A and B are shown apart, each in its own frame.
Chain A
Amino acid sequence: LAKTTQPISMDSYEGQEVNITCSHNNIATNDYITWYQQFPSQGPRFIIQGYKTKVTNEVASLFIPADRKSSTLSLPRVSLSDTAVYYCLVGKGQAGTALIFGKGTTLSVSS
């Protein structure tokens, strides 16, 4: 699985847009980029997944440049409840493979 690098922590205020960037210089042609969110004492929750360009769902947007060596998770108008750890993972779905989580980005949202 490709190694990823993301900021250890970020701070924001309610109502702001938050962008978390992840770099994955060694991404393979068949790899997808997936982001998870984890609250304390809970399992991670799937947020969004993409391969190239832009993906948007009801929770977030994912921007992937043409070279795919990085990606940016965008959270519009964050609230206090968005305080969590956000993980960026790169890989592809193959039987028996497993996700390897890094340290993630701890987002703290204040009022």
Chain B
Amino acid sequence: ETGVTQTPRHLVMGMTNKKSLKCEQHLGHNAMYWYKQSAKKPLELMFVYSLEERVENNSVPSRFSPECPNSSHLFLHLHTLQPEDSALYLCASSQDRAGGRLYGYTFGSGTRLTVV
């Protein structure tokens, strides 16, 4: 256990379903991130939250909707997904320090999403 917990670990959903991915961190970090990793591809940054405010949306389709109610929790709401959205979705957290040095990201184990 890394201190970042993602649920569920596996999810199969139809294209008309609505589901949510949950991420929880117990590290006292102040920034959280969603990444997508498709098969044999690099991690793609989706969303960045710092101090509970979204600071970056990396041109992600609107069928993905993030929510960060507090610094410990991050959600990714999914609706009307496409089969090509099937991937490993990873959550990470870090303790950002304005002005520099040492950011170590702690990743969760991910949610393996399959859209059918």
Q: How far is the CB of A42 from chain B (nearest CB, A)?
A: 6
B27 interface residue (CB < 8 Å to A): no
Q: How far is the CB of A2 from chain B (nearest CB, A)?
A: 14
Interface range on chain B (Cβ under 8 Å from partner):
35 or more
Chain A residue contacts of B48, Cβ below 8 A: 96-98
Q: How far is the CB of B28 from chain A (nearest CB, A)?
A: 15
Distance of A41 Cα from B96 Cα, bound (Å): 26
Contact present for B42 and A43 (CB under 8 Å): no
| Residue in chain B with minimal CB distance to A99 | B105
Contact present for B104 and A34 (CB under 8 Å): yes
Contact present for B110 and A95 (CB under 8 Å): no
| Residue in chain A with minimal CB distance to B95 | A93
Chain A residue contacts of B106, Cβ below 8 A: 46
| Residue in chain A with minimal CB distance to B108 | A43
Contact present for B102 and A32 (CB under 8 Å): yes
Which residue of the partner chain, among A41, A44, A92, contacts B112 with CB atoms under 8 Å? A41
Which residue of the partner chain, among A32, A43, A45, A98, contacts B45 with CB atoms under 8 Å? A98
Which residue of the partner chain, among A36, A43, A98, contacts B110 with CB atoms under 8 Å? A43
Segment from A11-19, A73-81, A100-108 that makes contact with B = A100-108
Contact present for B92 and A43 (CB under 8 Å): yes
Per-residue A-contact encoding for B97-109, CB less than 8 Å = 1, 0 else: 1111111111111
Contact present for A100 and B45 (CB under 8 Å): yes
Contact present for A44 and B45 (CB under 8 Å): no
Contact present for A46 and B104 (CB under 8 Å): yes
Segment from B50-58, B63-71, B75-83 that makes contact with A = B50-58
Interface residues of B in 30-57 (CB under 8 A from A): 30-31, 33, 35, 42-43, 45, 48, 50-51, 55-56
Given A34-B104, A98-B33, 18 extra CB contacts under 8 A: A41-B88, A42-B107, A42-B109, A42-B110, A43-B2, A43-B4, A43-B109, A44-B107, A93-B96, A93-B100, A93-B102, A94-B100, A95-B51, A95-B97, A97-B48, A97-B103, A98-B48, A99-B45
Q: Which residues of chain A have a CB within 8 Å of any CB of chain B?
A: 30, 32, 34, 36, 41-46, 49, 91-104
